[in-house]
Amino acid sequence: MSDQRRWTSDARETVVSAIGGVAGAVADPREGLRRLAASLLSPKPLAVGAGLALAYVLGWRCGRRTASR
């Protein structure tokens, strides 16, 4: 159970960090690009971003099928 809590906590921290990075990039685009380049070197944020993108596409696709019936 503690592993699951740790994983959830790590995922939350990663998402919050990504949101903070986006907000910071709006305020200072040059620093935002530097942070983006640094975060791409770490596989965890990349995996979270890919998962979010996949979930969005699948949700959009399933929602579109339901609406067309």
pLDDT digits (tens, 9 = 90+) for 28-67: 888 877 877 776 666 777 788 888 899 998 888 887 666 6
Structure letter (DSSP) for residue 42:
S
pLDDT digits (tens, 9 = 90+) for 2-12: 666 676 777 77
Q: Give the pair of three-digit tokens for residue 3.
A: 């592993």
* Contact call for residues 24 and 31 (beta carbons, < 8 A): yes
pTM of the complete model beyond 0.75: no
